[in-house]
Structure 1
Amino acid sequence: MSAPSHQIGWKTAVAIVVSSMIGTGIFTTLGFQLVDITNTYSIFLLWIIGGMLALFGAFCYAELGSHFKGNGGDYLYLKETYHPILGYLVSWVSLIIGFSSPVALAALAMSKYLSVFDYTFGTGFSIAIIILVSMSLSFSLKSSSKFHNFFTFIKVAFVIVLIILGVVLSGPETGNSLSFGEGWQKEMMLPAFATSLVFVTYSYTGWNSASYIAGEIKDVQKNLPKSLIIGTVFVTVCYVLINYIMLKHASLDQLVGKEDVMDKAANNMLGLSFGKVVNIFIALQLVATISGYLWVGSRLTQAFAKENHLWKTLSVNNKKGIPVRAIFAHTVIAILIILTGTFKEIFVYTAFLLQLFASLSVSTVFFLKKKDRKIFKSDLFYIFPTVFLLFSIYILYFTFIHNPRESVIGLGIVAFGIVLYLIDKRLSKPES
């Protein structure tokens, strides 16, 4: 029996994973890391650890997605394993932060990278891009897939070409940021190494994206793990190489504390004219990032809205089965985030909350019985969630210590979600 025509294959699922991961983080965070961490081995190690954690998390989500099936991801895992309040909170955080903030950050990064041209691309441009992408995802699953796959192809092709050029071309005569000394052992012990992991783990956000739309994937037990693992490994290799070429083609003075780090490297590597072309492609590939987060986020929000009184209106599909109201809810929230916060502030509290709830979700695999596991039958499987959770605790602790204001903002959002849960529960009583 053939799969329903509305389902997507593993290639589109991989495209969603790759497009959700490669985006704002890799092209904006190196400058923040270089404030305290300058040894190249340390930088590589940060990104390898991030990739390892993403891969271990992907193994866990592959099991969870194959077991629970259906759309919803974290919402399903936490609601079914622990308590409905955690499912509610992760959905609330996903609506307000998890999927809307990356959309806002990607749109802001687009404006930043296009600012090399004479015309100033400000917040108005960022907002317009989000609205246009939202509209493109609102017609049908087929048109959404074509749109998303097209921009993901641009993303992947651009990244591969950029890496090849960066590796082959020689660095600038004025110097670079490569430093292969022995200081990396000392840098690993610094609190700054842990806080740098916050930026890195955010850059890997999206490794779990295909699990949210498990209900739309053909042969989910085979294709979900395939998409998560292929996507995560591909992105990890790309991230290490992209960092290498940015360090190779720009000096520390050009990179430290800057957001548009690839702009500096590209100008040195290709000259000002071709450097501007690179900026255009960075902006174009961020369209796929925005598309991926709006697509996946709207499905999680829809699954959440169907079961909660306050949010019922967001569960409505259009005639083609697209959750248009959920898509535009994320659109509106992303626009509000753009209008109310700075890039780095949004970045830190988003990374903090996403790491917190990813950890809670990964912990649910400990409640899967061996007979329920579809992919990993050996008990060695528990190495993956254990390592993931230990690193998460390490990251969350240092994030809170060194960024207390942003962490408290994040926890305040969670606290407000608890209030909404209690109100929602009370409003739902008469219907039972």
Structure 2
Amino acid sequence: MTAVRLGGGNLASRFQVGFTLLKLVLILAFIVAGLAGNGGGSVSFAPSASDPARIFSAGFVVSLVFVMYAYSGWNAATYIVGDLADPARSLPRALFVGTGLVSALYVMLTAVFLYTTPVAEVAGQVEVALISGRHVFGDAGGRIVGLLICVGLIPTIGAMMWIGPSVTVAMGEDVPLLRQLARRSATGVPVAAILLQAVVASLLLLTRSFEAVLEFIQFGLLSCAFLTVLGVIKLRITRPDLPRPFRAWGYPITPLIFLTVTLFMLVHLAVSRPLQSLAGAVLMLVGLGLYALTASNARREVTKVP
């Protein structure tokens, strides 16, 4: 993925679009195959009286953190707004269409898992899709679904190799200490930012398990989302004069709902996984310290100018 992204231009674009379409086709094929079968699940889709209690339980809240990963790319289009020709038109469309499509596919996939597989078989298991695949396609189903997952990860990684370096480039443009990360090649590719992300991702995956990496970044991701939405409300109050080309539908109700649910998840996450949450908080504090240091240096440089 790093090599493709370094190539830049039409190659990276065609690669991303092609594999994304292939991923969608494979997911839809799995959904159709699962729903077309007789079903072997033991879960009723009808609501029950015990559902409200489960929704407000600690286990359900912590599980929402993993559900958030299915939607974690919904806001990523905002990171590459500088690469969009008409962001005022294309950005809202990308957010709504992308989030709506992912939501529909996620719900249908979850329904297939529950429809085809007994809960006892998937309880406490990470590879739910592989287990469900054996019920849908027989003994070879695990390998088929494993292939589907591998192919599906290709466009996901490709998107992150585009979006992640864009954030790093913005940091390099704002923070003088990281200026090297903002440099681009003659073709406009941020080589240093891409290589940095590849090195960091490789070190994380080689030194710890994938699940451990997810647990490590959960608190930080949720905190950043919480603070970002809180910042929208703060700016509405303190800077009502700022131009706002994009509207927040349902404001202030929708931001307040998001903040309430996210805070609920953060509290339960800190209680159930204190070490991982503390590590994520420390990492954020290190970033804030770096930002404060560079901002202080920038102010000193300005005062030196006659």
TM-score normalised by structure 1 residue count: 0.64
Cα distance between partner residues in 2 of 1:311 and 1:178: 54
Structure 1 residue 427 displacement after superposition: 5.2
Matched ranges for 1:405-424 at <5 A: 405-424=275-294
1:228 aligned onto 2:95 = yes
Structure 1 residue 244 displacement after superposition: 0.9
Cα distance between partner residues in 1 of 2:7 and 2:192: 12
Indicate the residue corresponding to 2:130 in structure 1: 263
Aligned with residue 29 of structure 2, among 161, 177, 186: 161
Cα distance between partner residues in 2 of 1:306 and 1:370: 25
Aligned with residue 392 of structure 1, among 262, 265, 276: 262
Indicate the residue corresponding to 2:84 in structure 1: 217
Cα distance between partner residues in 2 of 1:346 and 1:135: 23
Structure 1 residue 260 displacement after superposition: 1.3
1:317 touches 1:323 (CA, 8 Å); kept in 2? yes
For each residue in 1:393-421, what CA deviation from the matched residue of structure 2 results, as whole angstroms up to 9, or x when unmatched? 11111111111111001011112223333
Structure 1 residue 287 displacement after superposition: 0.7
Cα distance between partner residues in 2 of 1:377 and 1:394: 22
Cα distance between partner residues in 2 of 1:281 and 1:188: 31
1:301 aligned onto 2:172 = no
Structure 1 residue 381 displacement after superposition: 2.6
Cα distance between partner residues in 2 of 1:427 and 1:338: 35
Indicate the residue corresponding to 1:139 in structure 2: 7
> Which range is displaced more, 197-206 or 369-378?
369-378
1:370 touches 1:377 (CA, 8 Å); kept in 2? no
Matched ranges for 1:274-293 at <5 A: 274-293=141-160
Structure 1 residue 424 displacement after superposition: 3.2
Indicate the residue corresponding to 2:177 in structure 1: 310
Cα distance between partner residues in 1 of 2:248 and 2:185: 41
1:329 aligned onto 2:200 = no
- Count of equivalent residues: 297
User: Residues 400 and 370 from structure 1, CA distance in 2 versus in 1: closer, same or farther, beyond 3 angstroms?
Assistant: same
Cα distance between partner residues in 2 of 1:141 and 1:301: 19
For each residue in 1:348-393, what CA deviation from the matched residue of structure 2 results, as whole angstroms up to 9, or x when unmatched? 2312211111121122322243883334388x43222111111111
User: Residues 171 and 164 from structure 1, CA distance in 2 versus in 1: closer, same or farther, beyond 3 angstroms?
Assistant: same
Structure 1 residue 168 displacement after superposition: 1.5
Stretches of structure 2 that go unaligned for 5 or more consecutive residues are none
Matched ranges for 1:19-34 at <5 A: none
The structure with the largest alpha-carbon Rg is 2
TM-score normalised by structure 2 residue count: 0.89
1:372 aligned onto 2:243 = yes
Structure 1 residue 430 displacement after superposition: 6.6
Name the aligned partner's letter for residue 372 of structure 1: P
2:135 touches 2:141 (CA, 8 Å); kept in 1? no
For each residue in 1:138-161, what CA deviation from the matched residue of structure 2 results, as whole angstroms up to 9, or x when unmatched? 122322211111111111111111
Structure 1 residue 338 displacement after superposition: 0.9
**SS of alignment partner, residue 291 of structure 1:** helix
Name the aligned partner's letter for residue 320 of structure 1: T
Cα distance between partner residues in 2 of 1:382 and 1:293: 31
**SS of alignment partner, residue 381 of structure 1:** coil
Name the aligned partner's letter for residue 244 of structure 2: R
Cα distance between partner residues in 1 of 2:7 and 2:301: 33
User: Residues 415 and 160 from structure 1, CA distance in 2 versus in 1: closer, same or farther, beyond 3 angstroms?
Assistant: same
Cα distance between partner residues in 1 of 2:28 and 2:251: 33
Cα distance between partner residues in 1 of 2:13 and 2:79: 16
User: Residues 377 and 159 from structure 1, CA distance in 2 versus in 1: closer, same or farther, beyond 3 angstroms?
Assistant: closer
User: Residues 214 and 184 from structure 1, CA distance in 2 versus in 1: closer, same or farther, beyond 3 angstroms?
Assistant: same
Stretches of structure 1 that go unaligned for 5 or more consecutive residues are 1-132
Indicate the residue corresponding to 1:170 in structure 2: 38
**SS of alignment partner, residue 236 of structure 1:** helix
Cα distance between partner residues in 1 of 2:179 and 2:91: 28
Q: Which has the higher contact order (CA 8 A, sep 6+)?
A: 1
Cα distance between partner residues in 2 of 1:394 and 1:377: 22
User: Residues 166 and 349 from structure 1, CA distance in 2 versus in 1: closer, same or farther, beyond 3 angstroms?
Assistant: same
Cα distance between partner residues in 2 of 1:422 and 1:407: 23
Structure 1 residue 310 displacement after superposition: 2.7
For each residue in 1:78-113, what CA deviation from the matched residue of structure 2 results, as whole angstroms up to 9, or x when unmatched? xxxxxxxxxxxxxxxxxxxxxxxxxxxxxxxxxxxx
Structure 1 residue 274 displacement after superposition: 4.3
Structure 1 residue 275 displacement after superposition: 3.8
1:198 aligned onto 2:68 = no
Name the aligned partner's letter for residue 156 of structure 1: L
